[in-house]
Amino acid sequence: MPFLLYHGRSRPQGGRRLAAAITAGVMAIAAVLLAPLPSAADTPWLHVSEDGYASFSVPAASIEAGVGPVSQIVIEGNFGPSFTWAEFGLTRRGDVWSGVLGPLRPGLYSYQVTGDDTKGLKDPTNNTGVASKPLWSTFLVPGDSARLLADVPQGRGGKVETLTYRAEHQERSALVWTPPGYEAKGPQAYPVLFLRSGDGGSATDWLDLGRAKQILDNLSLRKAMEPMVVVISDGNGTNDDLRKAVAGHYRVHRDPAHQAIAGVAEGGTQALRAVLTRPGQFAYAGSFSGLLTDGVSRADADAINRHVKLLRLYTGNVTDPAYNAANRLTKALDRAGITYESDGVNPDAGANWNAWQENLIDFVPRLFRKVSDHGPSAGHGRLKGEFTPPAPGTTPTPFVTEDGFVTFETTTDFQNAQHVKVWANWAPNGSWLRIPLARAGDRWRATVGPLDPWFYYYRLMVDRVSVKDASNPTKVTTEPTWSTFLIRGEKARLLTDVPAGQGGKVESMTYRSAVANQDRTALVWTPPGYDPDRAEPYPVFYLQHGGGQSYTDWVEMGRAKQILDHQFLDGDLVPMVVVMGNGNVPDFNKELLENLAPAARARYNISSDPSQQALAGLSMGGGQTFGMLKAHPGQFAYVAAFSAGFGSATGVDAEAINSGTKLLRLYVGDQTDFVYPSFMTSLTTLNNLGIRYEFDGVTPGPHGWDVWQKNLIDLAPRLFKR
């Protein structure tokens, strides 16, 4: 466990036709150009830091001018698990809607601004665009895993141009990438890859979302691919018409041995059909989330194996609609005796462009050359059989698989709703994202994942109203619409229940509060083997909640019992009693010193010696902890604050704090924690006062339980050991 002491310093933080789609894109661009453009002085709505944090700051006036008054603003984008489409809610602070999300994994992200579920808006300060989605903007989070998505130096890449041709008495268009050094005239002929988009998509998606030009440019410059011409089209039209047009305009080989076809979704299905029904057309074929489910039994295996040099299948994880189809297809190909390769299962992406970018990166270097590696990409798993969640209405939700996929399902109460979403702490490091559910008969359902092992909490949002998942028996007393679930695994070991009979006990303690003028309740954890008659009283740790919470939250949300049980059984914890009180009072110091602490001492065998007392709290409770430290220095020898600011330095007796405090340890989330700026100011205040404290850097995550659970895990083993 890292340990750093700071005194006076702190450490730095560590099926449309292409022509129609292009026309729509041009019209969208024209609309943007005709709209008032932001001046050079306008502040961008999005800032992406070098370490992958996306900060959104959207002026309320711009929203109202664009779509009218709204009650909520979200950023819709591919931010969810497996890069699924999700919503990140912004908070209005004054005249600005703002929020910070991250750190995001390296890759390409697309987004739009949406108010009240239906009022979409393009970010006018981001000049990127998606031709087929006029409201979308994009941004790239750089990193080693996304290096092939970056632009190559100017002038060193290939060229993309539009090819217009006639087919079936109609004018169609395709996009054509030619490699660096390609010349219209010359002796060399190039092999050609025909790359298709999915049903309802456009060829431009391969550039705007698939980053095909950047991928091809980078592979070409690294000499990781054979020089070739790549023809990008939508899913309409016949292969023959397009092949004739390409052969008439570009220096390409016309024989099937030098031609390849691949595509995403329906485009992948078309690629499969091309080689299975007419195996003399293409020597190479790739299906990226293709959905072919028929026709294999009638395929001519001998002809396919003779003419097709490579048939390679790609699929995302169980959130990819092609996952089950891929399982069935591999079995059908095996039965038919057709030779193929499988890239396995991408565990971290579903049916989206983040997966298809990786598919293209893997597929292109295999074309028109000999390769030695015919197995799955690094990190991909094998197909394990079809994914079949329980039938609707047959099991409580959520339904959790061993590998972290979670299926949510509503009751039939919301069959007339327009928008149903599940809002949970599954963004990076525990931030909240909303993921839309889809209609499934008279219910709503969605599968999300894979989620890392950890403790999750969520609520349903039905037409913007927070609703409890009635099928989940868990509860959160202070948040009646929240439910919880646990993804098991080593990372979450300390948050799981210990074997029955081996843990400590949590009891309710009722006492009279003169401050609140009422009977109040606290929860008290006693360690395994607690002896009320032990000669030496136990140390006591008072653990406080935050604003809007109460004494139940550290047990129901903070997993305090599970954490303390495990740490005690692991031998990391000094036997102690932990008192979790209700801090919702006007005078916390008086409540703790004159009501809660005396009641705890009267009922439990705990010490009144300051050296054997600890106090910590989160957010509001952290502020109360600092208030106690200032007003009564030395009353508690061990003090910690989670996501809270120190406040004013006026009247602070630094010498008394230093002499009476054995441990002052501070915690805060990263820049997604809204108290981060005030916390950093607090460090300066403490430094100027000369107060000794420990701060071991930020805890990755927001102002939420993912952070505070980790803070307790770090703090508890440090208590009463000096």
Q: Tell me: the pLDDT tens digits for 340-357? A: 999 999 999 999 999 999
Tokens of 446: 């969605």
Place of tokens 């456009």: 202
Confidence of residue 184 (pLDDT cuts 50, 70, 90): confident
Place of tokens 């690094």: 378
Question: Can you identify the CATH homologous superfamily of domain 494-718?
Answer: Alpha/Beta hydrolase fold, catalytic domain (3.40.50.1820)
Exposure class string for 367-406: b at 16+ Cβ within 10 A, else e? bbeeeeeeebeeebeebeeebebeeeeeeebbbbeeebbb
Place of tokens 């091309």: 274
Task: For the chain, give the percent of residues with pLDDT over 90.
Answer: 86
| 141, containing H or E segment | strand 137-141
Q: What is the mean pLDDT of residues 12-26?
A: 35
Confidence of residue 85 (pLDDT cuts 50, 70, 90): very high
pLDDT at res. 237: 61
Confidence of residue 293 (pLDDT cuts 50, 70, 90): confident
Q: 153: how many CB neighbours lie within 10 A of its CB?
A: 8
Confidence of residue 32 (pLDDT cuts 50, 70, 90): very low
Candidate from 76-80, 162-166, 480-484, 682-686 with smallest mean pLDDT = 162-166
Confidence of residue 170 (pLDDT cuts 50, 70, 90): confident
Q: Judge whether residue 552 has pLDDT over 60.
A: yes
Compute the distance between CA of residue 178 and CA of residue 595 in angstroms, rounded to an integer. Answer: 79
Q: Judge whether residue 16 has pLDDT over 60.
A: no
Q: Judge whether residue 715 has pLDDT over 80.
A: yes
* Whether domain 148-366 has CATH 3.40.50.1820: yes
Confidence of residue 167 (pLDDT cuts 50, 70, 90): confident
Question: How is 332-390 classified by DSSP, letter by letter?
Answer: HHHHHT---EEEEE-TT--SSHHHHHHHHHHHGGGTTS--S--SPPTT-B---S---PP
- CATH topology match: 148-366 vs 408-488: no
| 706, containing H or E segment | helix 705-715
Confidence of residue 435 (pLDDT cuts 50, 70, 90): very high
Confidence of residue 42 (pLDDT cuts 50, 70, 90): confident
Candidate from 13-27, 136-150, 554-568 with smallest mean pLDDT = 13-27
pLDDT at res. 259: 96
Confidence of residue 105 (pLDDT cuts 50, 70, 90): very high
Which H, E and C letters describe 627-656, residue by residue? HHHHHCCCCCCEEEEECCCCCCCCCCCHHH
For the chain, domain boundaries: 42-142, 148-366, 408-488, 494-718
How high is the mean pLDDT of the chain?
92
Compute the distance between CA of residue 257 and CA of residue 613 in angstroms, rounded to an integer. Answer: 79
| 57, containing H or E segment | strand 54-59
Q: What is the mean pLDDT of residues 607-633?
A: 98
Q: Judge whether residue 154 has pLDDT over 80.
A: yes
Candidate from 281-290, 293-302, 533-542 with smallest mean pLDDT = 293-302
pLDDT at res. 13: 33
For 302-315, write each residue's pLDDT tens digit. 999 999 999 999 99
Q: Which CATH architecture has domain 408-488?
A: Sandwich (2.60)
Domain 42-142 maps to which CATH number in 3.40.50.300, 2.60.40.10, 1.10.606.20, 3.40.50.80? 2.60.40.10
pLDDT at res. 563: 98
Q: Judge whether residue 26 has pLDDT over 90.
A: no
For residue 705, the one-letter residue type is: W
Compute the distance between CA of residue 311 and CA of residue 272 in angstroms, rounded to an integer. Answer: 8
Confidence of residue 238 (pLDDT cuts 50, 70, 90): low
